Structure 1
Amino acid sequence: MKMLALAFAAFALTAAQAPVTAPAALPINPPAAIAADPANKLTLNLSNGGTVVIQLRPDAAPNHVQRVQQLVSQGFYDGITFHRVIAGFMAQGGDPTGTGQGGSKLPDLTAEFNTLPHLRGTVGAARTADNPNSGNSQFYIMYVPNNSMNGEYTVFGRVIAGMDVVDSIAKGEPPAEPTKIVHASLGAAPTP
């Protein structure tokens, strides 16, 4: 009888707990206030002659966006290559060593998984395969949608201009002549 009472008590406690809910779905397009803030526009001038503008999403991954903004303001990304570029998959950069093994001197970030999908132009935090909390300075830009990455990698932005420039980043692991980020800045790219 005592065992039955304990089992019932355990069931009652379990039933009384609030149900676990999934995170709220984020809209593909950012809220107007985020889109209007120049600090949430990352502009990359590349050595292939093009410019890429990325809409950052602090509503989806605030710590990752803050890290990118901090590194950009320090000039960290200037001169860094896209060291892993796989046609039909993604272009990865942000490693000062160019090997895929490096990062900034700042501590790694805890993953901020969200509901933003991996579409063409999605920008996310690169990390080691076995540690979701190993994102630091490296990032990737998707060439094609990849649903298998949804909820497994931190998405923090999306290319809003210059995807054709991303398409022309030199391919390879590493590329023979890697495309470099000549200059990274926050704010919209100047008009020609």
Structure 2
Amino acid sequence: MAYPFPALDGSAPKTQKFNDTPEFGIDPTKRYTATMDTSMGQMVIALDAVNAPNTVNNFVFLAGYHYYDGIIFHRIINGFVCQGGDPGGTGTGGPGYRFNDEPVKTRYQIGSLAMANAGPNTNGSQFFLISGPSGVGLPPQYPRVVSMRGTCAAFWIPSGSSRSTPSTSWCAVRNCRCFRASATTRAP
């Protein structure tokens, strides 16, 4: 039995471990937007429910349970990607379930956000943001959740550095909320 889908009004309790996959709770004919407030500014994310309905459902589900609130971006590599979504901040955690891939048919762009995984059909909660030209060259095998507008440039670290171990001094998510518009969806 699937885990109940939360209300989008923010009333669900913060939950970071689930005993089952989420029930399907989005309407793929509607537009969904996520707002992620971080320590470096706000990102507004257009969710692509047309091309990745299960991936968007998962992202909205986790945001509805405040899963992403308080996490850090545990991996930041200049000109490539910024990765987050692990509540432990190590890059090894997840929600307690996995779901199947919904591969993209187009190339990533700077600002694309996609699910990070450890191989085919191992998606959970971790995601990455394409933050530079090296990330654009990734093969489009990872499910693309969204295209993002906002503080992509804020995920910069000093020249000559790379970030692959957690630190609370790096970008942290304060809260992540998803909203549904009444209009019919269009792919971002």
What TM-score results when the alignment is normalised by the length of structure 2? 0.71
Q: Deviations over 1:141-184 (max 9, x none)?
A: 00124454333211111112333334479961125422110010
Amino acid in structure 1 at the alignment position of 2:149: I
* 1:143 equivalenced with 2:131 (yes/no): yes
**What's the TM-score once normalised by structure 1's chain length?**
0.70
Paired residue type of 2:107:
P
Identity of aligned residues (%): 28
- Return the letter of the residue paired with 2:82: A
- Give 2:101's match in structure 1, choosing from 102, 111, 127: 111
1:47 aligned partner: 39
Tell me if 1:133 matches 2:125.
no
Tell me the CA shift for residue 187 of structure 1: 3.3
Q: Say whether the 8 Å CA contact 1:43–1:184 is kept in structure 2.
A: yes
Partners of 2:73 and 2:85 in 1: how far apart?
7
Q: Which protein shows a greater Rg?
A: 1
5+ unaligned residues in a row in structure 2: which ranges? 1-28, 181-188
Structure with bigger helix share is 1
Shift of 1:109: 1.1
- Matches of residues 1-192 of structure 1 in structure 2 within 5 Å? 34=30, 37=31, 40-48=32-40, 50-105=41-96, 107-128=97-118, 131-145=119-133, 146=135, 148-167=137-156, 172-176=163-167, 177-187=169-179
**C-alpha distance in 1 between matches for 2:162 and 2:94:** 21
Which structure 1 residue ranges, 5 or more long, are not aligned?
1-32
- Asked if 1 retains the 8 angstrom alpha-carbon contact of 2:78 and 2:157, the reply is no
State the 1:88 CA deviation: 1.0
Return the structure number with greater strand share. 2
Give the secondary structure class of the aligned counterpart of 2:89. coil
**Contact 1:51–1:165 (Cα < 8 Å) also in 2:** no
Q: Secondary structure at the match of 1:42?
A: strand
C-alpha separation in 2, matches of 1:167 and 1:55: 22
Report the 3-state secondary structure (helix = DSSP H, G, I; strand = E; otherwise coil) of the residue aligned with 1:153.
coil
What amino acid maps onto 1:73 in structure 2? G
Distance 1:167 1:54 in 2: 19
Structure 1 Cα separation of the partners of residues 139 and 162 of structure 2: 24
